[in-house]
Amino acid sequence: MTTHPAPPRGVNTTVTTTATDVTGLQRSLEGWIRDRLATPTARISDLRKPSESGMSSISVLFTVEWDLDGSRQRADLVARLAPEPTALPVFPGYDLERQAAVMRTVADHSTVPVPRVRWIESSPAVLGRPFVVMDRVDGVVPVDNPPYVFGGWLHEATTAQLDVVQHGSVDVLAGIHSIPDPRSLLPELGVGTADDALRRHVDGERAYYEWTRQDDGLRIPLLERGFDWLEENWPSSPSEPVLCWGDSRIGNIMYRDFAPAAVLDWELATLAPRELDVGWFVFFHRMYQDMAEQFGRPGLPGFLQRADVVAHYENTTGVELRDLDFYLGYAAIRHGIIMSRIKRRSIHFGDSPAPDDPDEYVLHHRMLRRLIENEYSWETM
């Protein structure tokens, strides 16, 4: 079971995720499962929404039992559903077929642990929206709300156990990036040259920023300055595109005995320079660590430090990372756009008031400001 640390005073952990009534899904899902298994004996039980389900989509856990050749079969499964439009989705689109294709490719061409994808339903006719069904994997996940730096199983781990988490997690990145010829395996992620891949990704983030402000028209000066910073610091020769996880962070890994047991959340997978993933990975933990220190908590000092992550990654892959300062800044900008959307959702659902300063729609606005002013040091942890 995933343990949730107690938040420090002043941290608002109220988040409205979705209005989905999961109990209403059982009958429709059970009928659909019977068709997939080609048996009327299939029964669903213990259907529930996990407590740590995120905002980008909804996951539903359930157990299915059925008869096969005179014996009773059982499978513990999870259905991942696209979000309801009324829930103000974090992202403009959810291509579950593409996510499933990426997961199957990773499973077939690497040793990275991913849940087995059983079925995909593209039609909204069954559950009101598309969904994918996967095998359920048991383990624990570093939680985001409140962030794992405030307490929980990682805080109770020994230094040796944290090393297992760190090395295993970086090995996940190395394994994904080592998949050969991802352009042929996943043509739907299409890309041209290395510079084309990075430019297309940044253009996509610009379009996403504009999408987030289509309802209120609000501009966030800090994010727009961030895009200017990207142009001013653009890599002269981006590294060749590889398959990138896209949302590469330990909060999207399920662990068992401190080792990765399942790599989750592939909606941001893309073909891009490998530094995109490494930058996001380092940035995300550092953002949480800064947050812990801001509230007078120790966090996890010494864990997932930039130099250690880079050294292990380069030793494992034999590839030297380039322009990481650019990708760390880009990670902060990307996450700033996501947080601005999440803040709008929070305001819409009455979870928090609208700030007077638009830059404060970005949770880590202080960190981002220092980054684009070239005043942030990654070495002081």
Provide the annotated active-site residues.
Answer: 247
Asked if residue 40 lies in contact with residue 34, where contact means CB atoms within 8 angstroms, the answer is yes
CA dist 235 and 258 (Å) reads 36
CA dist 240 and 197 (Å) reads 9
Give me the DSSP letters along 138-186.
Answer: --B---BTTBGGGSSTTTTS-HHHHHHHHHHHHHHHHHHHT-S-HHHH-
Nearby residues of 177 by Cβ (< 8 Å), 6 or more positions away: 242, 243, 244, 274, 277, 317, 319
Nearby residues of 237 by Cβ (< 8 Å), 6 or more positions away: 194, 322
Given the structure tokens 């009455």, which residue do they identify?
350
* Residue 304 zone, left/alpha/beta (φ > 0; ψ -120 to 50; rest): left
CA dist 183 and 192 (Å) reads 9
Q: How many Cβ atoms from other residues are within 10 Å of residue 360's Cβ?
A: 15
Structure tokens at 85: 């439009």
Give the three-state DSSP class for 77.
strand
Nearby residues of 16 by Cβ (< 8 Å), 6 or more positions away: 87, 345, 346, 349, 351
Q: What are phi and psi of 236, to 5 degrees?
A: -70, -30
CA dist 212 and 342 (Å) reads 10
Structure tokens at 197: 């891949």
Q: Measure Cα distances from 94 to 80, 119, 345 in Å.
A: 11, 16, 18
